[in-house]
């Protein structure tokens, strides 16, 4: 572990943190990102929010070697334009100007901070991602047409889920702080800030829609994915904070917002992982008086919510439960049957990521044929080759997360929630932001566990009966 004033190690000596690092690591920076997205959202000026976040991303690349502030700005860029769900080619090319800002900043970053950058040593996730990249490129071999294989959506998803993501992983790993504790806190704080932004956006949408009922938004599933990742890490931060009750209440708020949004798969998964995360939270809060007080607050809140539901929301709850059937006429049953047929017809390499079937589903310009299920998507698009590659990646991720400390348990619950929801959603096949976000989470997790002391080693940290930190 480095001390509190150092992020990187150079030649065995600490590299002191600059003023820019301190500012970009502060809560004020994340609050600024929230404001940059929320204020334009009020006026439906989505592009303005996007460009503000791009500017902060580029500025972060210039000001610091630490890649985490740029990563945070990247996530907010993707949220800023989330209303543009059915984006067209023309709208995509309208954002191409982002390259004029980001590429020069990236080149400057690579050159400016080259001194002291350690040579890349492949981490645990490098080889599995390489295998996934190969499977994506081989998908559809012998079945897909050249037109489909080389279409713009196909190229984008093949590269950004595969070799481009692999390159991003290498870059992130080289310029991520060596201090795993710092990186873990920054990741958690970033996801908390994104979750807060979604809460603000839903509040804005509520008033824009007339303040009569909770607003429906197409991006509810994306918000659900973010909150599935955020809730366990919110509680991890809370267990380590003297103001843990606020983190606890915000985690509960996230779960409630997901329920109100009407995202069925996200609600089911957050109901499971959220409850387990709360239980784990109380296990790791060692102060008995604090634990009792916070449990009392949580119990009182549960009573209030139950009273509200029984008095006003029982019909909504009954309706929601009645809609839990996946095969409810939304077309997914047909997608799953088609996916299984494609798996049986092309078992080795599948039909390819670029596969289209306009008779079943008329796709948007930049969409691939989503089966709305990660397992079906993998085997239908890449066959047994893809199944083997993704299974290897899944196992290696589990190995990284199966450690006996609170951060690893929280990351595991985040991962389980995300993957569970992806069984009926497209999360795993959304390279920006979720492909990059998962890559960062497991790079951080590998760093965090690499830094852990053994039991009995004098480090000045509190180490509990399980190998790890609080």
3-class DSSP string for 179-221 = CHHHHHHHHHHHHHHHHHHHHHHHHHHHHHCCCCCCCCCCCHH
What percentage of the chain carries pLDDT values higher than 90? 59
Q: How confident is the model at residue 332 (pLDDT cuts 50, 70, 90)?
A: confident
Residue 17 has pLDDT above 80, yes or no: no
The CA-based diameter of the chain, rounded to the nearest angstrom, is 66
Residue 223 has pLDDT above 50, yes or no: yes
CA 84 vs. chain centroid, Å, equals 19
Q: Which of 117, 143, 173 is the last residue of a domain?
A: 117
Both 110 and 137 in a single domain?
Answer: no
Q: How confident is the model at residue 314 (pLDDT cuts 50, 70, 90)?
A: low
Both 58 and 138 in a single domain?
Answer: no
pLDDT at position 321: 59
pLDDT at position 122: 85
Average pLDDT over residues 396-422: 94
Residue 327 has pLDDT above 60, yes or no: no
Both 163 and 264 in a single domain?
Answer: yes
pLDDT at position 120: 75
pLDDT at position 322: 60
Q: How confident is the model at residue 129 (pLDDT cuts 50, 70, 90)?
A: very high
Q: Which of 82, 117, 152 is the last residue of a domain?
A: 117
Q: Bridge partners of 15?
A: 8
The DSSP code for 454 is P
pLDDT at position 257: 92
What percentage of the chain carries pLDDT values higher than 70? 83
Question: For 116-121, which contacts have Cβ atoms below 8 Å and span 24 or more sequence positions?
Answer: 116/8, 116/10, 116/11, 116/15, 117/65, 117/174, 117/175, 118/174, 120/170, 120/173, 120/174
User: By mean pLDDT, which of 4-18, 283-297, 361-375 is the weakest?
Assistant: 4-18
pLDDT digits (tens, 9 = 90+) for 135-151: 999 999 999 999 999 99
Q: Which residue has the tokens 């991303």?
A: 57
Most confident of 212-216, 320-324, 368-372, 459-463: 368-372
Mean pLDDT of all residues in the chain?
86
Both 169 and 256 in a single domain?
Answer: yes
Both 242 and 112 in a single domain?
Answer: no
* pTM confidence score: 0.88
Both 342 and 264 in a single domain?
Answer: yes
367: left (phi over 0), alpha (psi -120 to 50) or beta: beta
Q: How confident is the model at residue 253 (pLDDT cuts 50, 70, 90)?
A: very high
Closest CA to 109 of 28, 11, 3, 20: 20
Alpha-carbon distance of 218 to 164, in angstroms, equals 28
Residue 25 domain flag: yes
CA 92 vs. chain centroid, Å, equals 22
Residue 368 has pLDDT above 80, yes or no: yes
Both 170 and 67 in a single domain?
Answer: no
Specify whether the CB–CB gap between 445 and 173 falls below 8 A. no
Question: What residue numbers bound the domain in which 206 lies?
Answer: 124-454+461-470
Both 100 and 165 in a single domain?
Answer: no
Residue 11 domain flag: no
Sequence-distant (6+) residues with CB within 8 A of 143 are: 345, 346, 349, 350, 351, 352
Closest CA to 263 of 315, 323, 199: 323
Q: Bridge partners of 14?
A: 9
Closest CA to 407 of 287, 239, 178, 196: 239
pLDDT at position 211: 76
Both 301 and 331 in a single domain?
Answer: yes
Residue 12 domain flag: no
Both 372 and 292 in a single domain?
Answer: yes
Both 128 and 92 in a single domain?
Answer: no
pLDDT at position 164: 96
Higher pLDDT, 129 or 455: 129
Residue 470 has pLDDT above 70, yes or no: no
Both 81 and 137 in a single domain?
Answer: no
Residue 23 domain flag: yes
Higher pLDDT, 464 or 363: 363
Specify whether the CB–CB gap between 33 and 43 falls below 8 A. no
Average pLDDT over residues 259-272: 89
pLDDT digits (tens, 9 = 90+) for 93-112: 777 788 899 999 999 999 99
User: Count of domains in the chain?
Assistant: 2
Alpha-carbon distance of 82 to 455, in angstroms, equals 45
pLDDT at position 463: 30
């Amino acid at each position: 572990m480095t001390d509190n004033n150092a992020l990187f190690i150079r030649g065995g000596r600490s590299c002191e943190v600059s003023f820019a690092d301190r500012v970009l690591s502060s809560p004020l920076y994340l609050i600024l990102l929230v404001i940059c997205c929320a204020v334009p959202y009020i006026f439906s000026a989505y592009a303005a929010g996007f460009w503000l976040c791009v500017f902060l991303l580029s500025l972060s690349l210039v000001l610091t070697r630490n890649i985490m502030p740029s990563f945070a700005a990247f996530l907010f860029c993707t949220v800023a334009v989330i209303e543009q769900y059915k984006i067209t080619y023309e709208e995509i090319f309208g954002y191409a100007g982002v390259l004029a800002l980001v590429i020069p900043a990236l080149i400057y970053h690579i050159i400016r901070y080259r001194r002291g950058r350690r040579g890349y040593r492949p981490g645990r996730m490098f080889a599995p991602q390489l295998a996934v990249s190969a499977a994506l490129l081989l998908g559809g071999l012998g079945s897909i047409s050249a037109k489909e294989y080389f279409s713009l959506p196909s190229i984008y998803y093949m590269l950004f889920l595969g070799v481009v993501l692999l390159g991003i992983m290498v870059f992130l790993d080289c310029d991520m702080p060596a201090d795993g504790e710092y990186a873990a806190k920054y990741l958690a704080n970033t996801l908390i800030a994104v979750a807060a932004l979604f809460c603000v956006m839903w509040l804005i949408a509520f008033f824009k829609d007339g303040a009569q009922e909770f607003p429906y938004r197409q991006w509810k599933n994306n918000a659900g994915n973010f909150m599935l990742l955020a809730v366990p890490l919110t509680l991890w931060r809370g267990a380590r904070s003297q103001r843990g009750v606020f983190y606890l209440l915000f985690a509960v708020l996230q779960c409630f917002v997901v329920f109100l949004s009407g995202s069925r798969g996200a609600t089911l998964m957050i109901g499971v992982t959220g409850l387990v995360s709360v239980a784990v939270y109380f296990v790791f809060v060692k102060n008995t008086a604090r634990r009792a007080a916070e449990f009392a607050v949580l119990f009182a809140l549960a009573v209030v919510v139950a009273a509200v539901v029984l008095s006003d929301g029982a019909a909504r709850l009954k309706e929601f439960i009645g809609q839990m059937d996946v095969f409810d006429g939304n077309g997914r049953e047909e997608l799953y049957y088609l996916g299984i047929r494609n798996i049986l017809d092309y078992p080795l390499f599948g039909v390819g990521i670029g596969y289209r079937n306009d008779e079943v589903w008329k796709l948007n310009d930049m969409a691939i044929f989503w089966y709305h299920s990660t397992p079906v998507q993998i085997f239908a698009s890449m066959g047994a080759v893809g199944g083997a590659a993704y299974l290897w990646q899944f196992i290696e991720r589990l190995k990284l997360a199966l450690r006996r400390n609170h951060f690893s348990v929280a990351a595991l619950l985040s991962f389980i929630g995300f993957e569970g929801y992806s069984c009926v959603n497209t999360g795993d096949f959304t390279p920006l932001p979720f492909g990059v976000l998962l890559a960062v989470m497991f790079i951080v997790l590998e760093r965090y566990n690499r830094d852990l002391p053994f039991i009995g080693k004098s480090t000045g940290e509190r180490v509990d009966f399980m190998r790890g930190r609080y």
